[in-house]
Each structure stands twice: as structure tokens, then as C-alpha cells.
């Protein structure tokens, strides 16, 4: 239907006749002289319909005069040099003088044009109009390039792309499952996979060597800005490996793919233990673009009169730390309250601070609990200087780390301290378990299939609270973009971990019997990782929201505004799959 | 953990020390001299543990003596030339003399070994053992290669890989949907997509030019040997095209990919209208490897006394046809009955025949309804010769075509008339609609989004019964491996087709409002196709069952024997998503 793409018409075609297909991005009729910006996926070129002696010219001009926004056109014409060059577009040197214009499909008046910036709801309802914008086209193309580059890299290295089921068995560990009633098995349900974790481990037991899959995963969780009901991960698993092989391999992959797709050269990734990341950055996914660090001050506050500090200083499982923000003394009382409110969201009961005025005067509600010299020593220890503010956090190690980490990120943004760069790292040596005070049991920090650092079952049982795992996360600019581990490959260790997590023998058999069986029959040592494709695509495309790199995303209320999913279903259809909608009271 | 792969040890490594990881495929202890066939994904190599003066040798031999089937081992040793060469395996010239053997994971006694050929149920329950067999490894690798080759081909030509949602809106057209209750929207449900059809059309409206996706699709249908609840298709769509562009492009792709993956050179594909395919082969997916053809004999039977023939001969919408099977006179009475029973499954009420004995004598229950000369003329017309049998079918065109087509396939198999070759073709010009007598309405032969051959709405309405569509199928060796069409891109035509299918204005809006809306705002002409990946992979791997090219397939009873999906779910979890299991009486 066409000879060229609109966006690729250039000076080399001057004098030639071309046929183009596209949308009327803009159409202007200057009294018998018509200009149409014709757009396809490659870009825009100017089409002119002007009076001439050529046969049929009147009809061409008449058709052009009636063209409206987003009409679908086929245009034939000759390329010529433009009188008034448009430097803003790559085709700006030339224009196409139309000799024929065919309206392939007329557009009705639009709910919005992609030139506008309407609200996200209307963009999602008319997603097909939204996606026409060059910005969205560029973002989606970045995603396509990312996935293609990853596949090419993996295919070239013998990784085998294997599909695992979407209709599978419910595993009540982890997040909430989506359920699918089974028509042929009344009262039974399939579940959509939260990840292909068990299947990829089984593939290693099944003799495949290196596996990958760009896999759709499903979690029925509350939606935040960066979450979707369904999401895509690059899922990988390696047989006969230790963590170094996995990490070195995928680090190379990420470096190569960032170079190819985003033109970004990443340095070798630093490695940091979970404990160090929490201590220095208050986060297990530190954003290293922000130079600010938490400083432990237990030794400098333990002799103060401030009970909040002294109750925590030097106590096992607790910490007292400080964060110095250069220039932070400029914060108003109200702004400091905002920081306290922000910290409170992450569990802070208060947020002590000290301001150092430009004159060196200290303004701090907690100074009175210290000898003057001791307080000066404290401030000196954290490197506080004139014009700075120092925030303090004290309490349980994880809570303090979390809220001080959140304060650090907010300060980084507020004070424009986020370096314009790419800062990846590996975080390793995660705790194997976290103690859940409420449930009075251990929960797995990664997942229950992660190998502990120790090989011995009795040693793990004896030191469960302090045991570390063979898990690792890849972090980029404060985002956990990949997470993985060496897995348990011996059935006795897997059973022991299940037990520590409060899953008894019977429940183990019912839920994970097939995994325990598989481990019995010669499972090789294996490990792997999964990368969040949506997030990596968003980072590469330079957008905050993963919705911008998903063609048809759901809203935070779990709806597709375009199709209207989810929707009510007739009872007869529900009867076929043996379920009924419950009455509102839950009966 | 290893320096080489087992299956790749060759004479170039003689004298070198290697470290290998793998499974003990076979282990034999010949009284202190032990042989282990060590297997990884690349193949098998023989490991020998033999007495020597080397330090630690006794321990190595003792370990080797205790190795059992499928133990996971790490072996270090030196490569040497084998005394008794094993020509059956690529590594058969060499063996590895072990200097260290580490048992990485001991295997318990196996439910079966992949050397055996157990029933499919036990293979599926212990799928990880089944997949270890070199045959299954080869099949799965063929599938991986197929998908990688398709992607590479498409990526190189600017097709954009775009993911579409798995949690989407129920569309009660077509097959039965799988439903997923929505937790955040009580009483509402998502559906799993039967195909990305509407999304890919919307992507064309959204300005993408050429799309593809290796997409998971879901149909809750009765399972046959070649169906799965979930299946994989290569889904493609092109903007600004007619059928020739689509067909030429994908024909080139299929040819290239068959060459690359299967080493098969396909000829240019013949084209055949649906009417011709039905007339000559009794099938819309004719297997051209079988040279037999149906022959229309209306004119030769219309003057007979056989009412079954005369009622159909020359009548609009009916046919009388014959199928000659060379050598078929050898069929016994019982075998002929089997043919009749086979035809009956496809709607035949009977199956008339005529045998020509080696002496030229005719044996036929219908001969008595004809003049001798007329019957001879009939047999001559179909080319019947001594030793042949001719089957006859008469009645409604589609029914007769179906059962005579089935007889043709059975005869092809029974008489070994299936050529060992690859025979692709295009089938085109499908009827737009089929009249459903029971429902007293039209049903779509492809799907309701397929464009009719006519552009004019009134013309379509006036000739709906005879209208053809712009659909096309790619057929290979009797399998429909791909199906597609040019789509409707104007809202008026789409509404008219919905109406003809009995979908009123209100229902159109409720179910397909978003599509009709999208067509209003400048939808380009577009078309596409979808290929069945499971079937193509099975064909390339030389297996009848698509379950052999799916890592974790379901049974014909829709179960995963390995994980036990589907399974009962606790009522509390169902309450969260607002559904309950219905009592058996359907209340």
C-alpha cells in the first residue's frame, strides 16, 4: 500500500514519487493551500496540496481541505525541498506535494488528541489514541528492544527458552493467588503463577542446563504505582552452579543490554552485604546516586539523658544513627514536620534533629539531654557543618533503618542530591529468616526454596535467627531490578526449612510434595534469578511509571478502563464452572 | 563446577584432565572396576574407576562402586582412548579415568528410568524424570530453536514484540472462557484470553506498524489428543496491508524457519480456495501428501434409480462424489464396515462402494440401481481399475465432504499412501458465514472481525449466505498450522457483521464497544495471522502429540499429574474473591 515510511522521507528522495500511509497529525487549509502533517510509526512528514494545472488537482485539494485530525490517509506525491525548513523534525528539509489523497478511514471527533496531556484515566480509556503519541511509541519501542536484546544475548549463550504453565496449582505461600475455577473438576481451582519458581527448579532436576523465560506472573495484591496484577519477569535458572557464576553471568548480560539498548556504560557492580546496606543506607536496595549515608552514633549517645537514645544505643537488634543533610538548616519548622510525618509512615515515633545555623548556633530539641561537649562531639562525628541539619533515629534496627532510609531518599530528592547517573550494585548475604512477632514464627526473607549459607541442617536449626541465605539482589538506582538465590537441592534441607517456617510434614507433602519428590531423584545444585522487565523498561525509557511501558495496563483499582474488565458474568456461565457469587454478607 | 560437558568430550581432549557434572545414566561394578555412563544435556561419556597406585584411588573406586542410577556426580579425571570403541555415541572413542568422584546428590530408587517406556500417566507424574531422556531433551530443544528462529526472523524485519494482557474481559463469542474472580470488584470476573485478537487489532489502531507476540491462549474446551487448556501461538498483525503482503511475508518466514530448524526445504505454497479444497479433498485443511482425490459424479448418477444419489445430484448445496482407492478391492466385508463406521462419525448415513475384482468383476450393492453401461461409465469416470475400491458419498455438501475427506485420510494411512514429504498450501476464500440450523442464525466461520470480500455493507447483507471472507489458513500435511484474515477496519461494516451474527446494538456496545470506538478514530486497514506453535514444534520434532513438546502439559482430563492442579481451595480464600463452590445440584 505504500512505498516509504513518513518519518524516513529525506533529501535523498527529492524529485521522486512516493506513496505514504499514515494519520493526519495536523491538517490546515489556508484557503485552497492545504498542509497535512502525515504521521506513521517512524515519524511525521509535511504533505502539501496546492493548486496546479495537473489533471485531478482540484479533487486532491478538495479532499485535503476536508481532512481532519487522525484521519487515515494514503498519499501519493513527489518529494521536494521545503521553503521554510522545520528543524524540529528529521524530515524538516522536505515536503511531499500530493498528486493523490485517499481517505482510508475517516476519524470522528476525538475525545482528546495526543498533543494534549489529558488525565491518565482518559488516556487509559482511549489507550489506542494515547499510544499513538510519539512519546508512547518511543517508550514501547524501548521495551521491545530491551526484550529482544535480552533474548538475543541468552539465545547466543545456550540458555533454553521453555514455557511453564499459567494454569497451575495454588501455593498459599507468598502473595495472594488468582484462582480459576475448573469446569471438569467441580469445586477445584487452578491458580495463576506468582512466578515460575518451582517449575524452573523442576526443569533443572529434569536435566535442562540453563533456562530462561520472559514469563508473565500474577499477584493479587494491593496495587501501588509501581505494581500491576500481572507483570513480566525475565526468569532464569542454572544447573551446576554457585552464586558467582550466576552473578557474573547476569551482570555481564545487564551491562551488555544497557549498552546496546540505552547507550549506557555500567561499571562493574559493587557488592554489599544486606547488613552493610541497611547500616549505611537504611535500605536493602540502596540508591547509590545519593551520596548521603547513615552514621551509627550509639557510642556517642549512650551516656546522654535522652531515654529514646539510651534505650537503643549498643543494644542487640537496635541502633541509633544520624543522617547529615548539607544545607538542611534551611528547612522550616513545617518542612521538618513533613520529614517527621514521612518517617512516621515507615514506623518512626518521632524524628529528632539538630540544625546548625550559618553562625554555628545549634538548634535542636535534643541538645538539652547532652553535655555541650558531648553534643558537639556527636555533631562532629557525623561531619555536620554550618548550614546543615542532622536527623536522628533510634529503636529497633530494621525500623530505624527503614525510616532513616526513607528520610535519606526524601532529602536526596528535595535537595537535588540525586546524581544523574546509573548506580548498580549487588546486595548479598540476606538474613535467611525474619521473626514475625505477631505470628510467632519465622518467615522467609526471599522464599522458602532459597539455600541457607550453611550446608548442615542441624547448624541451621541451631542458628536460625542469625542465619544468612545464599540470596542476592541486583539493585539499580534504588530499584530492586533482579532477585535470586542458590536453591536448596537436597530434600532434607528443604524439609528442615519448611519446618522452621511452620509448615509441618503433612502440609509439606500436600503443597510441595512434588518438589520434595523431585529433589529425591538426583537434583543437581542449581540457582537463578528473576528480573523485573517492566521496571527495567521504565528506567530505560526514562519514565517513573511502569504503566508507560505496558500496552494495556490496569489501574490501581485493578481495572482495564478500555475493555471494562473485570465485568459481571451471567450465572449460567458461573454454574458451568461450579461457582456462585457470594452475597455481600459473605454467605 | 565443571570444565566441559559430558556429551562433548572427544579425542581432542585425550591426555587432558576434565571435570564433569552429570547423572549416572548407568553404573556397573565389575568387581573393583567400575563403569559409569555420565550424562548431561549434551550427551553421555563413559567414566572408569579402576584400581591404580595413585593416591586416594581406593576411595575413588569405593565411591564409584556405590553409585546408583541417576545419582548426581562431579567427576574429575583424565581423558584417554577407549579400548572397545562404542560407535553408538559421539563420545564413544574416549573415556574418562576418574581421579575424584563427588556425589553431589544421591538419588533414591526411581519410579522408572527413562530407558524404559512407561505409560504416559507415570511419565507426567514424574515429568522431571521423563524430561531427562535424550528423546524428550531433543524434542524440547527443537521447540526452543523454533521459537528462537521465529523471533530472530521477526525482530530483523521490524516486527514489534508487544505483550497483551492475560487478565482481560470475558467475550462470550467463540470457545468457553476461563474466569478469574476479581477480589477488588465483588461479583466481577476477569477472563483469560482465547487469543490476543482484539488487542492486536487495537495495537494497529494505536499506530504500531507490525506486531508479533508468542502468546499464551486459553480455551476451556473438551480436550482431545491435540488440544491443551492453554496453548501457544505466534500472533501477528500488520497495518496498511492486503492479504498478499501478509501471506507472502509469513510464507517466507515459515520457509526460512523450516530450513533453519528442521533442515526442510519447502516449495512455494500452492493456493486453493475453500470450495476447491472441500471439493477435491473433503477438507479445509487437505493433506496433500495423499494423492487421492474426491471426484464429483453428480452428472453420472442423476439418472440412476438410487434415491440417495438422485436426491443430491445436481442440487444446490448438495453433492455426490466418489473416492477411488487403488488396491482397495482387498478390503474385507468387515474392513469396509469399519470404513462406513468411520464415515458415520463424520455424519455419513451409509457408505456406498464398488469393488473391482482382479478379474474385472464388479462387486457393489448399488450397481443394481444403474444400467450396466452407466455404472461402467461411472467407474471409468473415477478411473477405477482392477483391484480398486470406489467409495461414494451423497448428501449435503459439507457433510459429504467431511466424511469422504475422513475416508480419504483413513485410506491414505491404511494403504500407506502418505508420501514422506512436507506439503504446505494456502486455503483462501472461506465462506463468511455458516448458517446454524439449530440456532437459526449465522455463525462466523473465522471470527466476527474477519473482513468480507465485499466492501459494501448492503451488498454483504443481500448475499450473506454466499459471501466469502478475506480469511486464509496455512495448512501443512493436513494440519491447519496458521489462520488469519484481513480485518474489518470500518465501524459500519463491523456493526453490520455483528448484526448478521445476531448480536444486537446493545449487546455490541456492552461486549465490543471499545473495538467499535477504536474503529471510529482512524483505524488503518490491517490484517494478520496466528500460528500454532505447539503443533508446528510437534511436526518438526516428529511426534504426533503436542504434549511431547510442552514441558508441563495437562492430561485430557485437564489435570497436571505432577503438581496435582486443579485442587480444592479453602472457603476462606474463596470468600476473599467473593465466590463460593456451588452444591452438586447446582444451587
Q: What is the pLDDT of residues A469-492, one digit of tens each?
A: 999 999 999 999 999 999 999 999
Give pLDDT tens digits for B298-320: 999 999 999 999 999 999 999 99
pLDDT level of residue A436 (50, 70, 90 thresholds): confident
Collect all residues with Cβ–Cβ distance below 8 Å to B328 and sequence separation of at least 6.
Answer: B355, B387, B388, B389, B390, B411, B415
Is pLDDT above 90 for B166?
Answer: yes
CB contact under 8 A, B580 and A580: yes
Which pLDDT score, from 0 to 100, does residue A548 have? 96
Contact by Cβ (8 Å): B533, B252: no
Is pLDDT above 80 for B353?
Answer: yes
* Min Cα–Cα distance to chain B from A312, Å: 40
The rounded mean pLDDT for chain A is 95
Q: Which CATH number is correct for A290-418, 1.10.1060.10, 3.30.1360.30, 3.30.1330.10, 3.40.630.30?
A: 3.30.1360.30
CB contact under 8 A, A569 and B170: yes
Contact by Cβ (8 Å): A536, A230: no
* Alpha carbon distance, N-terminus to C-terminus of chain B: 60
Nearest to A567, CA basis, from A576, A558, A575: A558
Compare CB distances from B2 to A137, A240, A573 and report the shortest one's residue: A240
State what percent of residues in chain B have pLDDT above 70: 99
**Stretch (H or E) spanning A540:** helix A533-541
Which pLDDT score, from 0 to 100, does residue B585 have? 57
CATH superfamily placement of domain B136-261+465-571:
Bira Bifunctional Protein; Domain 2 (3.30.930.10)
pLDDT level of residue B32 (50, 70, 90 thresholds): confident
Which pLDDT score, from 0 to 100, does residue B476 have? 97
On chain A, the residues whose CB falls within 8 A of the CB of B129 are 206, 521
* Min Cα–Cα distance to chain A from B381, Å: 47
Mutation to test the A interface, candidates B1, B161, B180, most A Cβ within 10 Å: B180
Which pLDDT score, from 0 to 100, does residue B210 have? 97
**Rounded CA gap, B365 and B295, in Å?**
20
Q: Say how far residue B126 (Cα) sits from the centre of its chain.
A: 24
Greater confidence, A223 or A429? A429
Q: Which CATH number is correct for B6-105, 3.90.550.10, 3.90.650.10, 3.40.50.620, 2.40.50.140?
A: 2.40.50.140
pLDDT level of residue A584 (50, 70, 90 thresholds): confident
Q: Which three cell numbers stand for residue B364?
A: 457393489
* Alpha carbon distance, N-terminus to C-terminus of chain A: 60
**Stretch (H or E) spanning A110:** none
Q: Say how far residue B352 (Cα) sits from the centre of its chain.
A: 33
Which pLDDT score, from 0 to 100, does residue B74 have? 97
On chain B, the residues whose CB falls within 8 A of the CB of A132 are 206-207
**Stretch (H or E) spanning A351:** none
Domain with CATH 2.40.50.140 in chain B: 6-105
Angle between helices A134-155 and A243-257 (to 10 degrees): 140
Is pLDDT above 60 for B586?
Answer: no
On chain A, the residues whose CB falls within 8 A of the CB of B582 are 186, 574-575, 578-580
Compare CB distances from A144 to B2, B160, B202 and report the shortest one's residue: B160
Nearest to B352, CA basis, from B318, B398, B314, B400: B400
pLDDT level of residue A114 (50, 70, 90 thresholds): confident
Write phi, then psi, for A532 (nearest 5 degrees).
-85, 105
On chain A, the residues whose CB falls within 8 A of the CB of B551 are 162-164, 199, 203, 206
Helices (H) and strands (E) in chain A, counts: 17, 24
Angle between helices A505-520 and A197-205 (to 10 degrees): 40
CB contact under 8 A, A189 and B241: no
Which pLDDT score, from 0 to 100, does residue A587 have? 45
Beta bridge partners of A355: A363, A389
**Rounded CA gap, B572 and B509, in Å?**
36
CB contact under 8 A, A129 and B206: yes
On chain B, the residues whose CB falls within 8 A of the CB of A220 are 183, 577
Tracing cell 526484550 back to the chain, one arrives at: A147
Compare CB distances from A170 to B41, B241, B569 and report the shortest one's residue: B569
Which pLDDT score, from 0 to 100, does residue B584 have? 73
Compare CB distances from B551 to A2, A163, A551 and report the shortest one's residue: A163
Beta bridge partners of B34: B29, B49
Is pLDDT above 70 for A212?
Answer: yes
Is pLDDT above 90 for A444?
Answer: no
**Rounded CA gap, B28 and B19, in Å?**
21
Is pLDDT above 60 for B217?
Answer: yes
Is pLDDT above 50 for B587?
Answer: no
**Rounded CA gap, B491 and B451, in Å?**
12
On chain A, the residues whose CB falls within 8 A of the CB of B168 are 560, 563, 565
- How long a stretch of residues is chain A? 587
CB contact under 8 A, B524 and A104: yes
Q: Please classify residue B523 by burial: count the beta carbons closer than 10 Å to its beta carbon, then call 0-12 exposed, 13-18 middle and 19+ buried.
A: buried
Strands (DSSP E) found in B388-521: 389-396, 424-428, 433-436, 441-444, 471-476, 479-486
Domain with CATH 3.30.1360.30 in chain A: 290-418
CB contact under 8 A, B521 and A560: no
Mutation to test the A interface, candidates B68, B522, B525, B586, most A Cβ within 10 Å: B522
* Min Cα–Cα distance to chain A from B282, Å: 33
The annotated binding site of B for ATP is made up of 219-221, 228, 480, 532-535
CB contact under 8 A, B584 and A40: no
Contact by Cβ (8 Å): B48, B81: no
Interval B402-431 mean pLDDT: 97
Residue A73, number of CB atoms within 10 A of its CB:
27
Write phi, then psi, for B255 (nearest 5 degrees).
-60, -45
Which pLDDT score, from 0 to 100, does residue A172 have? 64
Q: Please classify residue B112 by burial: count the beta carbons closer than 10 Å to its beta carbon, then call 0-12 exposed, 13-18 middle and 19+ buried.
A: middle
The annotated binding site of A is made up of 173, 219-221, 228, 446, 480, 487, 532-535
pTM of the model: 0.95
Collect all residues with Cβ–Cβ distance below 8 Å to B284 and sequence separation of at least 6.
Answer: B274, B277, B278, B427, B430, B473, B480
Interval B360-374 mean pLDDT: 94
The annotated binding site of A for L-aspartate is made up of 173, 219, 446, 487
pLDDT level of residue A441 (50, 70, 90 thresholds): confident
Q: Say how far residue B320 (Cα) sits from the centre of its chain.
A: 31
Give pLDDT tens digits for B437-464: 888 888 888 889 999 999 999 999 999 9
Contact by Cβ (8 Å): A33, A51: yes
Contact by Cβ (8 Å): B355, B362: yes
pLDDT level of residue A173 (50, 70, 90 thresholds): low
**Rounded CA gap, A76 and B116, in Å?**
67
Which pLDDT score, from 0 to 100, does residue B467 have? 96
Mutation to test the B interface, candidates A181, A513, A534, most B Cβ within 10 Å: A181
CA angle A533/A534/A537 to nearest 5° reads: 80
CB contact under 8 A, A584 and B525: no
Interval B534-556 mean pLDDT: 96
- DSSP class of B521: B
Which pLDDT score, from 0 to 100, does residue B440 have? 83
Q: Say how far residue A108 (Cα) sits from the centre of its chain.
A: 37
Beta bridge partners of A107: B521
Give pLDDT tens digits for A52-81: 998 889 999 999 999 999 999 999 999 999
On chain B, the residues whose CB falls within 8 A of the CB of A170 are 565, 567, 569, 573
Is pLDDT above 70 for A585?
Answer: no
At residue B83, the 3 state secondary structure works out as coil
pLDDT level of residue B172 (50, 70, 90 thresholds): low
Strands A424-428 and A271-273: parallel
Compare CB distances from B187 to A23, A558, A568 and report the shortest one's residue: A568
Nearest to B22, CA basis, from B89, B79, B75, B63: B75
**Stretch (H or E) spanning B334:** helix B333-345
pLDDT level of residue B436 (50, 70, 90 thresholds): confident
Beta bridge partners of A436: A441
CB contact under 8 A, A140 and B521: no
CB contact under 8 A, A41 and B207: yes
On chain A, the residues whose CB falls within 8 A of the CB of B1 are 240-242, 245, 525
Amino acid at each position: 500500500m505504500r512505498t516509504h515510511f513518513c518519518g524516513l522521507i529525506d533529501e535523498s528522495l527529492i524529485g521522486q514519487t512516493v506513496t505514504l500511509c499514515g494519520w493526519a497529525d495536523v491538517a490546515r487549509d489556508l484557503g485552497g493551500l492545504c498542509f497535512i502533517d502525515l504521521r506513521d510509526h517512524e515519524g511525521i512528514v509535511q504533505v502539501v496540496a496546492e493548486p496546479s494545472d495537473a489533471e485531478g488537482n482540484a479533487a486532491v485539494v478538495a479532499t485535503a481541505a476536508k481532512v481532519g485530525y487522525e484521519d487515515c490517509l494514503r498519499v501519493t506525491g513527489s518529494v521536494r525541498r521545503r521553503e521554510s525548513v522545520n528543524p524540529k523534525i528529521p524530515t524538516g528539509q522536505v515536503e511531499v506535494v500530493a498528486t493523490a489523497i485517499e481517505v482510508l478511514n475517516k476519524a470522528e471527533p476525538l475525545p482528546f488528541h495526543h498533543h494534549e496531556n489529558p488525565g491518565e484515566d482518559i488516556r487509559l480509556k482511549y489507550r489506542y489514541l494515547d499510544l499513538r503519541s510519539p512519546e508512547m511509541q518511543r517508550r514501547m519501542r524501548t521495551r521491545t528492544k530491551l526484550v529482544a536484546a535480552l533474548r538475543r544475548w541468552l539465545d547466543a549463550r545456550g540458555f533454553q527458552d521453555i514455557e511453564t504453565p499459567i494454569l497451575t496449582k495454588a501455593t498459599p505461600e507468598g502473595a495472594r493467588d488468582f484462582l480459576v475455577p475448573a469446569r471438569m473438576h467441580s469445586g477445584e481451582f487452578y491458580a495463576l503463577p506468582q512466578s515460575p519458581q518451582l517449575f524452573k527448579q523442576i526443569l533443572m532436576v529434569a536435566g535442562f542446563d540453563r533456562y530462561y523465560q520472559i514469563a508473565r506472573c500474577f499477584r493479587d495484591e494491593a496495587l501501588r504505582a509501581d505494581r500491576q496484577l500481572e507483570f513480566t519477569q525475565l526468569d532464569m535458572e542454572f544447573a551446576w552452579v554457585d552464586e558467582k557464576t550466576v552473578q557474573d553471568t547476569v551482570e555481564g548480560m545487564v551491562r551488555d543490554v544497557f549498552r546496546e539498548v540505552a547507550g549506557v556504560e555500567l561499571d562493574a557492580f559493587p557488592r554489599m552485604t544486606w547488613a552493610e546496606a541497611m547500616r549505611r543506607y537504611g535500605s536493602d536496595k540502596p540508591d547509590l546516586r545519593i551520596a548521603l549515608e547513615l552514621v551509627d552514633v550509639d557510642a556517642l549517645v549512650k551516656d546522654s539523658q535522652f531515654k529514646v537514645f539510651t534505650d537503643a544505643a549498643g543494644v542487640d537488634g537496635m541502633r541509633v544513627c544520624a543522617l547529615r543533610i548539607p544545607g538542611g538548616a534551611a528547612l522550616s519548622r513545617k518542612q521538618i514536620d513533613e520529614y517527621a510525618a514521612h518517617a512516621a509512615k515507615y514506623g518512626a515515633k518521632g524524628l529528632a534533629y539538630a540544625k546548625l545555623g550559618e553562625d554555628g548556633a545549634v538548634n535542636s530539641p535534643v541538645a538539652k539531654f547532652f553535655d555541650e561537649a558531648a553534643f558537639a562531639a556527636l555533631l562532629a562525628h557525623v561531619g555536620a557543618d554550618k548550614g546543615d541539619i542532622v536527623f536522628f533515629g533510634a529503636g529497633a534496627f530494621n525500623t530505624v533503618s527503614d525510616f532513616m532510609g526513607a528520610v535519606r531518599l526524601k532529602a536526596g530528592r528535595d535537595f537535588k542530591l540525586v546524581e544523574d547517573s546509573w548506580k548498580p550494585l549487588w546486595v548479598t548475604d540476606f538474613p535467611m529468616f525474619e521473626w514475625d512477632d505477631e505470628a510467632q514464627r519465622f518467615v522467609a526473607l526471599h522464599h522458602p526454596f532459597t539455600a541457607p549459607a550453611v550446608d548442615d541442617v542441624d547448624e541451621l536449626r541451631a542458628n536460625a535467627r542469625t542465619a544468612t541465605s545464599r540470596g542476592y539482589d541486583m539493585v539499580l538506582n534504588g530499584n530492586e531490578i533482579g532477585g535470586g538465590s542458590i536453591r536448596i537441592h537436597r530434600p532434607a534441607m528443604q524439609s528442615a526449612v519448611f519446618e522452621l517456617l511452620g509448615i509441618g510434614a503433612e502440609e509439606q507433602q500436600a503443597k510441595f510434595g512434588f518438589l520434595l519428590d523431585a529433589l529425591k531423584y538426583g537434583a543437581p545444585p542449581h540457582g537463578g534469578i528473576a528480573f523485573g522487565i517492566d521496571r527495567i523498561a521504565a528506567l530505560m525509557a526514562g519514565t517513573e511509571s511502569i504503566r508507560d511501558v505496558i500496552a494495556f495496563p490496569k489501574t490501581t483499582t485493578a481495572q482495564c478502563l478500555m475493555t471494562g474488565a473485570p465485568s459481571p458474568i451471567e450465572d449460567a456461565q458461573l454454574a458451568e464452572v461450579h461457582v456462585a457469587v457470594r452475597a455481600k454478607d459473605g454467605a
